[in-house]
Amino acid sequence: MAAAAYKMISIPEAQDIVLSHTRPLGAVTVGLAGALGRVLAEEVRAPDSLPPFPASIKDGYAVVAADGVGEFPVVGESRAGHLDQLPVAPGSVAYITTGAPVPPGADAVVQVEDTEKLPDGEGSQRRVRICKAAKAGQDIRPVGSDITEGDTVLQAGERVGVAEMGILATVGAVSLKVHATPRVAVLSTGDEVVDPSTAPLGPGQIRDANRAMLLAAAAKAGAEVVDMGVARDTEGHLEGCLAAAIEQRVDVLITSGGVSMGDRDLIKPLLAREGTIHFGRVRMKPGKPLTFATLTLPQQGGRQMLVFGLPGNPVSSFVCFHLVVLPALRKMGGWAEPQLRRVAARLAVDIKLDPERPEYHRCTLQWGPPPLGSTPALKAAVAEAAAAQDPLHAPPPPPPHEASAHGAAGLGSMELWAVSTGNQISSRLLSARSANALLEIPCASGVIKAGSLVSALLIDDLGGMPVPPGGVPVTPGF
């Protein structure tokens, strides 16, 4: 089929098609160290309680609460990690450290600050004054108060982050079932594309930006990556590269370049010969020639391989990866909700609309007051949008209790602002630099004004977003 013959579909249609051809991979068993970032394929239960014994919360003395204040013999010690099981009878106390088992007979702990060491008594008997009466149970974590034996501490389908690594360790889950992560091959194409180490560049050459970027993006998504190098613009070489990817038993092949209308754009014809192309044109900017195919491999038991033909322009590759490849990799890895997360943000600048294609405008989201450099026009636009009383455009009213920690600007006047990365031409990879979101800019004529509220898809976590000069306010009174 000629490239132009592919029906132009919308991005939601493209995403649905991709996900309908994507299956979660099976479960594999990994050790604890291999669990980070994976999705659990089984629930994890606690085989025992935490703490497994009544544990002291303080360094001090284990006492019988009913004894109240007074002078007492110190009949022994209970230290974390040591089991010196001496009973504490009424009228006596035991020295205890934080985390140590509370000895039988004692029912409270008095912190060392509320005691006074006394001179030793008869027979070198240690003695202490308890200066503050304790309530029964004071400064003791009862058995199972953090985790009870048999509790489900993590569910199947949960992703293992840093805290979850600790939870797994604490319940002794050192071998667990997680979803397998996909094996992903990345291939650049184009006679002009040369290795990044090439210097100086020969006539007509450009360095391969896409391969390093897509390998990194797939690895960041948790995939096992395979670098397939650069394919020349010949049918034979491309076919050989595809065969090599199949040989590598990858679940996904990502190519970049060679999917538009030129006579050396050979990816679509190759995929049409070797498999089924599900779409070859998407109404989006950038990324229009985005192509998706599946290959059924009889020589490998009939298994299926997904192939994403990303456009060669580096920004088009970057955007298409996040919009269609990443959700597929997430679904394979067991994510129940693999789509990019959407938030709302206010535009810091006017954006010119494209009358032909909806646009994914790269931006850096930052939370705070209107970004530095915002013009009086922006401030006026924000006020105008608010005055329009459109619920989407009106800024939230600050809660009445909110004191001003930042001059006139309290927490309620802070917002998520979308700062454009500048010129959005699809060859300019600097437009993806520091981008943590893709703004969803509708297809229309004219301009969308600064101060408007728009939806944005997160492509990075917001933990590293820019901090506005002067920082942002904290909870009043914090």
Ligand X SMILES: Nc1nc2c(c(=O)[nH]1)N[C@H]1C(S)=C(S)[C@@H](COP(=O)(O)OP(=O)(O)OC[C@H]3O[C@@H](n4cnc5c(N)ncnc54)[C@H](O)[C@@H]3O)O[C@H]1N2
Nearer to ligand MOO, 293 or 319 (CB): 319
Instruction: Give the containing element (helix H, strand E) for 219.
Output: helix 210-220
Q: Is 316 in the site for ligand MOO (CB under 6 A)?
A: yes
Binding site partner of 191, from ligand X, ligand MOO, none, Cβ cut-off 5-8 A by kind: none
* Shortest reach from residue 338's CB to ligand X, in Å: 24
Residue closer to ligand X, measured from CB, 308 or 335:
308
Task: Single out the segment in contact with ligand MOO by CB under 6 A; choices: 186-194, 308-316, 434-442, 461-469.
Answer: 308-316
* Beta carbons within 8 Å of 247's beta carbon, 6+ residues apart: none
Query: Which residue number, 133 or 443, has a Cβ lying nearer to ligand MOO?
Result: 443
CA dist list (Å): 444 to 7, 224, 354, 355, 358:
21, 40, 6, 4, 8
* Contact between 190 and ligand MOO per CB under 6 A: no
d(CA 211, CA 234): 19
Under the binding rule (CB under 6 A), the answer on residue 288 touching ligand MOO is yes
Applying CB under 6 A, among 101, 103, 182, 286 the residue interacting with ligand MOO is 286
Determine, following the binding rule CB under 6 A, whether residue 60 of this chain makes contact with ligand MOO.
Answer: no
Calculate ∠ Cα 285-305-358, nearest 5°: 10
Q: What angle do CA 437, 329, 251 make, to 5 degrees?
A: 145
Q: How far is the CB of 284 from ligand MOO (least distance, A)?
A: 7
Nearer to ligand MOO, 103 or 257 (CB): 257
Cβ proximity to ligand X, 151 vs 354, nearer residue: 354
Residue 217: phi and psi, rounded to 5, are -65, -40
Task: Point out which residues bind ligand X (CB under 6 A).
Answer: 188, 190, 192-193, 206, 208-211, 256-262, 265, 286, 288-289, 311-314, 316, 426-427
Closest C-alpha among 243, 257, 310 to residue 279: 310
Which stretch, 18-26, 55-63, 170-178, 284-292, contacts ligand MOO (CB under 6 A)? Answer: 284-292
Q: Contact 462/436 with Cβ under 8 angstroms? A: yes
Question: CB of 14: closest distance to ligand MOO in angstroms?
Answer: 13
Measured CA to CA in angstroms, residue 418 lies from 307, 319, 362, 411 at distances of 33, 17, 9, 18
Which of 54, 275, 287, 473 forms a contact with ligand MOO (CB under 6 A)?
A: 287
* Alpha-carbon distances, residue 95 vs 116, 430, 447 (angstroms): 12, 63, 74
